[in-house]
Structure 1
């Protein structure tokens, strides 16, 4: 399919457009960060080690659900190092998209918490499916490894241990966020990033993001 034949919501075009937006937000700086969309039995994912703001539709790999490459940009490109984690998320959670962010506040959120990130009584918690203002939002934190592929099993364990979470934080690294489709995943990502930043700022000025307000809501 030629690029001029791609619909606005074709996964190739969506990944390119969204990665450019995420670059402006600081989520995919340098060559770090990535995203993937699962649609009609196919997995769409960018190459590894490329600047995400410079992606073109023809750069996107297409895989089957086992990770076999069906088409790609050709020699000189490797499929994203995040791919095994993307596939694990599609298989374990039935998600339709995954965003991997290296945002500063996501990383800082892992430094002000131990095994889990928690925050409560924030309006933006409503942006996460199944969560509300009065809930304590919990996101598991796993330890980073030398190579992305080494995170697969610990991500899977975190997903199993925290079935209500739509994200897994990786200490001193970033976060993986997913949803039923790309739109829900984007909303989740924006909401989580807002909450990470809020928790970090609250911590800086002496407020506990895990504590309910002392006055009645």
Structure 2
């Protein structure tokens, strides 16, 4: 479906509202770029808006995204309603869809944060496929999950599953789905030597969680340097 031949498709990404998904994804990615989360063309974001899924494209510098670069998918049929003529769908799409399908998410973010990658390496060194940390104030910024409601508390232990990386991003789908099912309260999954997928009920929750986690990961790396333990 070309953006040059279908006015209905163009209407999906045309809005003056800064919080419309076609505009909001670009703004989010520019913000993430400033954090070093989406360097090069890596990483991305997706927003569910009613029955429409908005997706950033593959292979585009995220700080330069425009509304007309967005792909739009029908959530029910999984068919594209809008496909920019010279761009490719994000390789993250199957992973984003897993969060929408399994968790009824409203937004999903994927970053290549250096701190996320480093904590997966430290866990690998320790022979663990779970990142665990406790007694940090910022843990309060992490949702407790659908079975518990609310956010984690200061005395709660944050636990995030780690899945192994693959040669192609879309091949992570099965292991990410399995992690979601095995960890029903997790709102994120780390990918070893790669980055993290984070989702929330809406953009605000996903973004807040992503920022809180990155702070925690950086702190965890610095704690490790000092010989401080993550858990009691």
In which range does the TM-score fall when normalised by the shorter chain?
Answer: over 0.9
Partner Cα separation in structure 1 for residue 223 and residue 170 of structure 2: 33
Among 36, 42, 54, the alignment partner of 1:26 is 36
Shift >6 Å, 4+ stretches = none
**Offset at residue 2 of structure 1 (A):** 8.8
Equivalent residue number for residue 69 of structure 1: 80
Gaps of 5+ in 1: 212-217
Equivalent residue number for residue 129 of structure 1: 143
Partner Cα separation in structure 2 for residue 157 and residue 183 of structure 1: 26
**Offset at residue 172 of structure 1 (A):** 0.2
Calculate the TM-score normalised by the size of structure 1. Answer: 0.94
Q: 1:3 to 1:35 in 2, by over 3 A?
A: closer
Is residue 138 of structure 1 aligned with residue 159 of structure 2?
yes
3-state SS, counterpart of residue 17 of structure 2: coil
**Offset at residue 209 of structure 1 (A):** 1.0
Equivalent residue number for residue 208 of structure 2: 187
Among 169, 177, 181, the alignment partner of 1:160 is 181
3-state SS, counterpart of residue 5 of structure 1: coil
Q: Deviations over 1:112-134 (max 9, x none)?
A: 11210011000000001121110
Equivalent residue number for residue 108 of structure 1: 118
Aligned length: 210
Is residue 174 of structure 1 aligned with residue 195 of structure 2?
yes
Q: Deviations over 1:29-73 (max 9, x none)?
A: 001001100111100001101100010011001001243110122
Gaps of 5+ in 2: 1-10, 145-151
